[in-house]
Structure 1
């Protein structure tokens, strides 16, 4: 093996999540603790990190949504970086496919550790060159090969205290698979805590969801090994929230055009204290209030008074999620009314469209907001009107998901708790939209696009002159509609098979199966030399329809409705054709 090769390190880079770093461009201007706030808890965490003799090498900080966990993690990361103790930081995000699973956690940690020490970097590079398939192996195997063994060898040669030793992991609850959450916690115990020679101290923050509660409670694998901070119970954030509100409101007043806001008497101390009481220790409540008041579409004085009317019934004993629900419901209701006031002709359903856009962000096959506006049959930039009065909760962000992929503009929800609110009928009440309605609407829009598309589903080829640039763009869009249709129909079929059947019959009337046939056959035949891709990649192009066909066959009888019979015959003919074609190519 060429010892000067960096092939292993290059492969490591391909498997990391740059967006998960504390200083990533994607996380530009992340939330962090305001000056002179959370001083006690920051001191406790920093002292624990610096105390190399403490027997507990894992600190878990749990707290409710909006308690300020991510802001604390960001502040700790920057503090550790400034004093050269930061080994690595990883920030999960449910809305980012590059960091909402555990797949990239260990490679990203190994990458950061390698940057801190050239010898360790060389060892990690060699480990990957010796086993280039290491990233397809279990999390424990990856951890041992890329971190534990290389660091162990370094510690055997030199003073381990020279290595930056703080490993920070934020938002474990935003890892979308609960089993993966448990797996990561198990690996932390097995690979890090059970290896006493390793220098690392791990600071993990999460909502107290089931996976982490189970491991931290008596009988859990981490109970005896963890230093646990219950953020909501152990630290009263009331004074910090008060300081934060005063500082931000005065700054808003100085920049306002409203002379009332620039007055030395604004804001009124009683009003500020009422908001502090309403916040009930939830920093996200205060932060959302500030975002709402600072919006340029109105006077901060008037907006502050509006917030007070929303929170009149709240007390210090109100549950934290109820506190958030009040602000979310009021902002959402106000935005809905404002949208409906200007959308006088189209009569779009504001809540339905917002939920559809949220599903696009958090679901598979995410596309940019402009493209998704088109999927929904909306005018250009309709999403901007949709969120124009929601900027305290939602914004747009330009993202670059991965190497070789184009930048996309996507909706960015500031906090997952707002999505939790929209997803819970008992909390959102009359603002709730059943996912069934979202699936049905997206599917209906896609069926219309496919019916109206006159060309065959063939690959674009502007070089040959077969398709113009405009037609190539249309072709690319219709394939997006095709993928969105598959997902939406599967989601709809879980709760309303009759509605699914009706949409499939509409698709049949529009010769949808014939149009799909050209695309799927092209996909199959273009990969005939890649049997793995045929078996596990291209089959996904039509397997959702195969599953839907089985559901229709199990729940509806043929021979009673000619239109359904036509649908069933078309689906079965084409699905069987695609299955046979794939089987012949694989064999």
Structure 2
């Protein structure tokens, strides 16, 4: 049971995970009052009534919430009062489905009796981990703890659990569900935990915490952008510059930086620790310390963009302007994909070899590009922990291994192969996504979106030429010696290279399909998309899914959902909450007309079997809107059926080379396509 729990939890979300080595923590001597307040709330003095069970620290980007959360977790661990932690982040730690399993697993490592009960419950009912968040909490947290209490084996009183970055959980609805689930348990007194949340005050989180039944059990504090933090920031800067000199073995009789320089940076920080932290990284990574310091100190007064984060934005503009012109497009493309992770795929892709190959860069070229952003971008090395032999014969293609091995290998490739890459702070993402703040460096601009689309098309055409279809199999084309020959940054063996290549091919196809609905995409690029080999792309998808029945998180038309392969038929369905929140019928119909205009699709009017007519409507029927098209050209094309059900609130589709086969699979799977937890 515990082994299953480990698989669905996120070990990187713990406060002491190696992945978080470079994440912020409070500098000694800073933020002391805030830290003391939280520790005192979690561990009140003897004779003091227990404070409220929930604590919420809210504040804008860059004020130091995560650093305080990290430091509090470390102090509470020393005191023996830390139960578990979950640090949400867009960098692969943003899935609500991993929240309860991760908390449960961490608790199970600390309390042996609790571990036995959890292990037993999961072994008896493996579907527990497919249930709703509230059911999981009841079955794996509240019930086992109450059972231990009745047996006289309670785990203790007032054990702290810290949840940081709740606003970076990938669904606003799930953020609210987490608050509701924890608040319900706190009101009922079913667990001995006190919960500390750290987040931005987004409207939905604010609304959840200000509900009457939640606010009465929550201590709320604001971490403001304030010059009150200036003394802490000054101390942080002085110690940081001393460390820079020490790391370079430089001793100086005169003070460096000068007091004036320090005060300039303190003033520019304007209460934002992220500004000071980024300034130190810029100087530390520069060839000339003095030149970098001068640039940092002078840029603060040369930026006129109207923004609450004007000085921080000016600093970010300095970083972007220092990128050489010949490297700028590549760097912006990398920023674009990193900023949009989770938008068109809910599984974070942060593996550096994945993105290096996707952008057609060698290892040297990729790392050189990353170095231009070293003050805001971190590359974490995972190479020591990877043993490809665990997945099978390293000399054979990955599809010759087991479905379980294919899944595990794919996850590692997308997330960690060659290292993982992420931004130090979400404020830089916000800057890059806002054209009013980043101006010509905005990664949501039409030129960058089209450059990304063009790059993905080039990957598709290059990779499809290196494959041949042999019946139901996709194999290397004649004259292609191995998978490494298609990669700009290959691994050491065919097993990993074949999987890496297949996942890049899959990602490129999904990117073109997803972005193809955007009005910004140039028509000539859309016309090229219509000429790819859809049959090869579909078979490649079957390979990365591990064959029949494999599932994959994906997205269509701005909505996340789940994709499934049955034989040679690809099926997709949105989740209901995504359909409700994001599906736009008018925009969808406009995209269909655009695709017809660009020659990507053409309507099909086949002689459907009588049974199929009842399953697939030929035209709009009340609450159901549908269409059947050929997508692509000639022998490279497939049939594409889509259906929108306004009453039941879903969008679903299938792609198949043969209509009769697609009919059979769709009819058989239509109402039993997705596990209950996804609907």
Tell me the TM-score normalized by structure 1: 0.83
User: Partner of 2:436 in structure 1?
Assistant: 426
362-371 or 64-73: which moved more?
362-371
Contact 1:62/1:208 (<8 A) preserved: yes
- C-alpha distance in structure 2 between counterparts of 1:311 and 1:130, whole Å: 61
* Partner SS, residue 448 of structure 1: helix
CA contact (8 A) 2:432 2:442 kept: yes
**Counterpart in the other structure of 2:625:** none
Distance 1:234 1:549, change over 3 A: closer
Aligned pairs for 1:318-467 (under 5 A) are 320-334=308-322, 336=323, 339-340=324-325, 343=326, 349-350=329-330, 352-359=332-339, 364=345, 366=349, 368-399=351-382, 405-406=411-412, 407-408=416-417, 409-434=419-444, 436-452=446-462, 453-457=465-469, 459=473
Structure 2 gaps of 5+ residues are 387-406, 486-493, 553-561, 574-584, 604-629, 641-654, 669-679
**Secondary structure of the equivalent of 2:18?**
coil
Distance change (3 Å), C-alpha of 1:257 and 1:23: closer
> Is the deviation greater in 515-524 or in 42-51?
515-524
SS of match in other structure, 2:162: strand
2:301 and 2:528 map into 1 onto residues whose CA distance is 51
- Report the equivalent of 1:120: 114
2:527–2:599 contact (8 Å) kept in structure 1: no
The 8 Å contact of residues 421 and 428 in structure 1, kept in 2 or not, is answered as yes
CA separation in 2, counterparts of 1:257 and 1:134?
56
Superposed CA offset, 1:257-316 (max 9, x none): 667xx23322211221121121111111111111111114222x332222111123799x
* Equivalent residue, structure 2, for 1:304: 293
Contact 1:90–1:105, Cα closer than 8 Å, also in 2: yes
The partner residue of 2:89 within 87, 93, 97 is 93
1:349 partner SS: helix
For the residue of structure 2 that corresponds to 1:194, the secondary structure is helix
Residue 564 of structure 2 is aligned to residue 537 of structure 1: yes
Q: How far off is 1:26 after superposition?
A: 1.8
SS class of match (1:12): helix
| Structure 1 unaligned regions, length at least 5 | 1-7
Find out whether 1:146 has 2:140 as its counterpart: yes
Aligned to 1:111: 105
CA displacement, residues 34-68 of structure 1 (integer Å, 9 cap, x when unaligned): 11111111111111111272341101011111111
**Separation of aligned partners in 2, 1:235 and 1:276:** 9
* Contact kept? 1:64, 1:207, Cα under 8 Å: yes
Offset at residue 488 of structure 1 (A): 2.4
CA–CA distance in 2 between the matches of 1:460 and 1:515? 7
Cα distance between partner residues in 1 of 2:546 and 2:101: 35
Q: 1:182-214: per-residue Cα shift (whole Å, max 9, x none)? A: 0000001112x1123532111111111122211
Q: Report which stretch shifted further, 560-569 or 52-61.
A: 560-569
Q: Give the match's secondary structure for 1:411.
A: strand
Whole-angstrom distance in 1 between the partners of 2:236 and 2:214 = 35
Q: Distance in 1 between matches of 2:453 and 2:509?
A: 8
Q: Kindly indicate whether residue 238 of structure 2 is the aligned counterpart of residue 246 of structure 1.
A: yes
The partner residue of 1:76 within 72, 75, 80 is 72
Residue 5 of structure 1 corresponds to none
Contact 1:310–1:330 under 8 Å retained in 2: yes
In structure 2, the residue matched to 1:493 is 516
User: Residues 164-175 of structure 1 correspond to what in structure 2 (within 5 A)?
Assistant: 165-175=159-169
Q: Please state how far the C-alpha of 1:161 moved relative to its aligned partner.
A: 7.3
Q: Name the CA distance, whole Å, in 2 between partners of 1:81 and 1:360.
A: 35
> How far does residue 417 in structure 1 lie from its aligned partner after superposition?
0.9
- How many angstroms does 1:429 deviate by? 1.4
Higher deviation after alignment, 194-203 or 142-151: 194-203
Question: What residue is the counterpart of 2:404 in the other structure?
Answer: none
CA distance, structure 2, for counterparts of residue 211 and residue 521 of structure 1 = 38
CA contact (8 A) 2:350 2:422 kept: no
How many angstroms apart in 2 are the aligned matches of 1:367 and 1:46?
34
Q: Distance in 1 between matches of 2:83 and 2:253?
A: 47
Please identify which structure carries the higher helix content: 1
Q: Say whether residues 1:158 and 2:158 are aligned partners.
A: no
Q: State whether residues 449 and 521 of structure 2, in contact with CA within 8 Å, keep that contact through their aligned partners in structure 1.
A: no
Matched position secondary structure for 1:381: helix
2:36 is the counterpart of 1:43: yes
Structure 1 contact 67–232 (Cα < 8 Å) conserved: yes
1:378 is displaced (CA, Å) by 3.6
CA RMSD of the aligned region, Å? 3.9
Equivalent residue number for residue 191 of structure 2:
198
Q: CA deviation at 1:455?
A: 3.3
Contact 2:545 2:551 in 1 (8 A): no
Give 1:143 deviation, angstroms.
Answer: 0.5
1:506 aligns with 2:496: no
- Kept after mapping to 2: 8 A contact 1:171/1:205: yes
